[in-house]
Amino acid sequence: MSGRTVTIAQVAKHAGVAVSTVSYVLSGKRTISADTRRRVLDSISALGYHPNAGARALASKRSNVIALVLPLRAGMHVPVLMRFASAVVTAARRFDHDVLLLTADEGPEGIRRVAASALVDALVLMDVELDDRRVPLLRELAEPSVLIGFPAEPAGLTCVDLDFAAAGARCVEHLAERGHEEIALLGAPSVVYDRGTGFATRTREGFARALHAHGLKGVTLPCEETFDEVYETVRDLLLDRPGLSGLVVHNEAAVSHVLAALRQLDRRVPHDVAVVAICPDDVAERAGPPLTSVLIPAEEVGREAVRLVMDKLEGRAVPESTLLTPLLAVRAST
Amino acid sequence: MSGRTVTIAQVAKHAGVAVSTVSYVLSGKRTISADTRRRVLDSISALGYHPNAGARALASKRSNVIALVLPLRAGMHVPVLMRFASAVVTAARRFDHDVLLLTADEGPEGIRRVAASALVDALVLMDVELDDRRVPLLRELAEPSVLIGFPAEPAGLTCVDLDFAAAGARCVEHLAERGHEEIALLGAPSVVYDRGTGFATRTREGFARALHAHGLKGVTLPCEETFDEVYETVRDLLLDRPGLSGLVVHNEAAVSHVLAALRQLDRRVPHDVAVVAICPDDVAERAGPPLTSVLIPAEEVGREAVRLVMDKLEGRAVPESTLLTPLLAVRAST
DNA sequence: GCCGGTCGTCGAAGCGCTTCGACACTCTCA
DNA sequence: TGAGAGTGTCGAAGCGCTTCGACGACCGGC
């Protein structure tokens, strides 16, 4: 145990070797005899040595920290975002990196700050808008970055996300297979579309294209998140389109309101109206009835983002665009 | 602008002063003439200088980073946790600190690691359990820490939280004023009680004591988060206690299910059953009908936690326990 | 007109680590 | 047997910053 903080010099003395030898044992950058390595490792654990992060960063020009830029914007579903974030942290630790959390209130300036001060080696950005103020900054930064989501002009960037267009299409396909002929997409709150958030738009486009391809009738609507608004939206939708028998919901916060509204309007799920959601599995499973859903593979996306950013950090080439294939799980609602 | 990274030496040369002078301008630890200060600041912005975080940490023994330890446990309501987290980040920036995000998967060892490596100066821990494995570690750490929430044995620690006992009591009071005589508390999922998470237990105790003090009848129940389970719980509750006319819900995820269940059971809110929630304002406002609620002042708690940890970092004495007073907002549900 | 006391600035010594070049050995193969 | 090619280890030079002690310059008081 340690009285005060243990340095590499103390470890070296304890093991009877040079400081540089200890460093090489730790980094593996030069071959060290098995015998010496053992003595050093023994000394390290005997003294309870932990390398000083600042000193290491200074000497090696690597902080072993990545920034996670996570604006928490209105209309975004926080639990979903946090699954991404959590996956990023876990994956980063696999690469021996820690995660610095940045929110939006500092704006792009915060990104510049942590990059310029060498606080972080690389950045992962979430909740990307089509026209994102952070993007131009990324292009001029020396530090590698990866976006979770796609801006309007992704050339020269590295982006990863679920293939939301395919997800929207997959839902249509599933409903078409079940024989539905008129369906609707209830999407994100309109503020999210207005902001031009890519995932919402792409789902809508994929939905619309698949509708056309399968010769179905249908419509896409934004969907707010209070019960009353959801209720009105659903009620009006059913009034306007008496033939409608399928619903795709891409809005985690509205899911339970939609089901409650259908219940109140005396429509049985799936008998009168079939419902498919695009949401994490637990939201789908927690609903009443459990929902057929395209799951949002947050863990996989987060892991992939970190893998990509680490590749870039090591100078390896990476694809500009990584789209994960949506998987549909059938449950009681269709 | 910078070809490559700018150092303090370059700033010093550009301004025609010593390196130490630049440092003192930045830190304000010695008096510098207005004239020199101006020249230095001009050079800094002309060159686009940002101090290197690693070097600074090494020399000053302060990383200007605090750790936010945020286990994302089952049954916790993530949006609420994130409001705390977000408030902590914002507040930390006010003190010129950044936030390193730690999750649970590394366990207490992760805390030891970031502290021992001097990656962080201090820690803020969230989602504290009554018998929390992290607590003994905190006691032996040199780095100051603050808990959001209370463990069973908080002596010697610094804890801050909403006064959940008072919150539970406040709900009872409100319903008592409205003339209700038999009420129930629907709390967190049972896993949260089993784990011994303080806030859930304290609300329950405050509720029970107030019940007694006001001479009301009532009961407290855990509450799961799927619609079907909530529905059954509510249905059985109403069957068992025909006189019941008030409900306190302390479970963000269940709130909308509770309202849907009441609707389905033909109970009107607030006419047949009055409902008070303990949750953030936006959840209460988004419900149908909008709910009378005790708000969870996440921003304030986060800010307070950071203030306390900064005080400790500066060696100032701080109270062991900080409890924030609950505020009740009356809306359409009572 | 000299002394003690600010005030403003400088130079240099680290902080704890990584990494480069050097060097002493030990093998191998001509 | 000796040149050449590894191995395994060491010492020292930084990395970019903070901070300490020193030291002129200037002030007011006697």
Chain B positions touching A65 (Cβ under 8 A) are 100, 119
List the A225 CA – C22 C1' distance (angstroms): 70
Nearest to A166 by CA among A327, A333, A330: A327
> What is residue A123's predicted lDDT score, i.e. its pLDDT?
97
What percent of chain B has a predicted confidence (pLDDT) above 70?
Answer: 99
> What is residue A60's predicted lDDT score, i.e. its pLDDT?
95
Protein-covered nucleotides on strand C (Cβ within 7 A): 7-12, 14-21
> What is residue A322's predicted lDDT score, i.e. its pLDDT?
96
> What is residue B3's predicted lDDT score, i.e. its pLDDT?
46
Hey, of A4, A45, A50, which one would you mutate to test binding to chain B, going by the most B CBs within 10 A of its CB?
A: A50
Count residue pairs from A and B with Cβ separation < 8 A. Answer: 148
Question: What band does B226 get if pLDDT is binned at 50, 70 and 90?
Answer: confident
Q: What is the rounded distance in angstroms from the CA atom of residue B126 to the CA atom of residue B148?
A: 5
* Lowest mean per-residue pLDDT among A225-229, B45-49, B250-254: A225-229
Q: What is the rounded distance in angstroms from the CA atom of residue A275 to the CA atom of residue A327?
A: 16
Q: What is the rounded distance in angstroms from the CA atom of residue B121 to the CA atom of residue B142?
A: 9
Of B55, B118, B228, which is closest to A288 when you measure between CB atoms?
B228
Return mean pLDDT, chain B.
Answer: 93
Distance from CA of B287 to the nearest CA of A (A): 6
Q: Are A199 and A233 in contact (CB under 8 A)?
A: no
Asked whether residue B145's C-beta has any atom of DNA/RNA strand C within 7 A, the reply is no
> What is residue A217's predicted lDDT score, i.e. its pLDDT?
96
> Which of chain B's residues 6-65 bind strand C, using a 7 Å CB cutoff?
16-21, 24, 30-33, 35-37, 55, 58-59
> What is residue A79's predicted lDDT score, i.e. its pLDDT?
84
Q: Are B52 and B7 in contact (CB under 8 A)?
A: yes
For every residue of B174-195, DSSP letters joined together read HHHHTT--EEEEE-S-HHHHHH
Report helix, strand or coil for B331: coil
CA dihedral (A290, A293, A299, A302) positive or negative: negative
**pLDDT of B303 strictly over 90:** yes
Asked whether residue A53's C-beta has any atom of DNA/RNA strand C within 7 A, the reply is no
Q: What is the rounded distance in angstroms from the CA atom of residue B125 to the CA atom of residue B62?
A: 20
Residues (pLDDT < 70) of chain A are: 1-4
With CA of A4 and C1' of each nucleotide, the nearest comes out as: C16
In the sheet where B292-294 sits, what is the strand order? B217-221, B182-186, B246-249, B274-278, B292-294, B328-329
Which amino acid, residue B324?
Answer: L
> What is residue B78's predicted lDDT score, i.e. its pLDDT?
86
Protein-covered nucleotides on strand D (Cβ within 7 A): 7-12, 14-21
Q: How many C-beta atoms surround the C-beta of residue B243 within 10 A?
A: 9
Nearest to B21 by CA among B7, B9, B6: B9
**pLDDT of B1 strictly over 50:** no
> What is residue A105's predicted lDDT score, i.e. its pLDDT?
85
> Average pLDDT for residues B246-253, to the nearest whole number?
94
Residues A98, B98: C-beta atoms closer than 8 Å: no
What percent of chain B has a predicted confidence (pLDDT) above 90?
Answer: 84
Q: Rounded to whole angstroms, what are the CA distances from A159 to A28, A168, A319, A332, B33?
A: 32, 19, 8, 34, 49
* Lowest mean per-residue pLDDT among A158-167, B6-15, B44-53, B66-75: B66-75
With CA of B61 and C1' of each nucleotide, the nearest comes out as: C15
Nearest to B126 by CA among B110, B142, B152, B104: B104
Hey, of A98, A127, A228, which one would you mutate to test binding to chain B, going by the most B CBs within 10 A of its CB?
A: A98
> What is residue B30's predicted lDDT score, i.e. its pLDDT?
93
Residues B100, A101: C-beta atoms closer than 8 Å: yes
Given the DSSP bridges, would you call strands B274-278 and B217-221 parallel, antiparallel or unpaired?
unpaired
Chain A positions touching B225 (Cβ under 8 A) are 286
pTM for the model: 0.91
Distance from CA of B180 to the nearest CA of A (A): 26
Q: What is the rounded distance in angstroms from the CA atom of residue A288 to the CA atom of residue B181?
A: 32
Q: Is B69 left (phi over 0), alpha (psi -120 to 50) or beta?
A: beta
Question: What band does B2 get if pLDDT is binned at 50, 70 and 90?
Answer: very low
Residues A100, B99: C-beta atoms closer than 8 Å: yes
> What is residue B107's predicted lDDT score, i.e. its pLDDT?
84
**pLDDT of B197 strictly over 90:** no
> Average pLDDT for residues B94-111, to the nearest whole number?
93
For every residue of A317-331, DSSP letters joined together read ---SEEEEPP-EE--
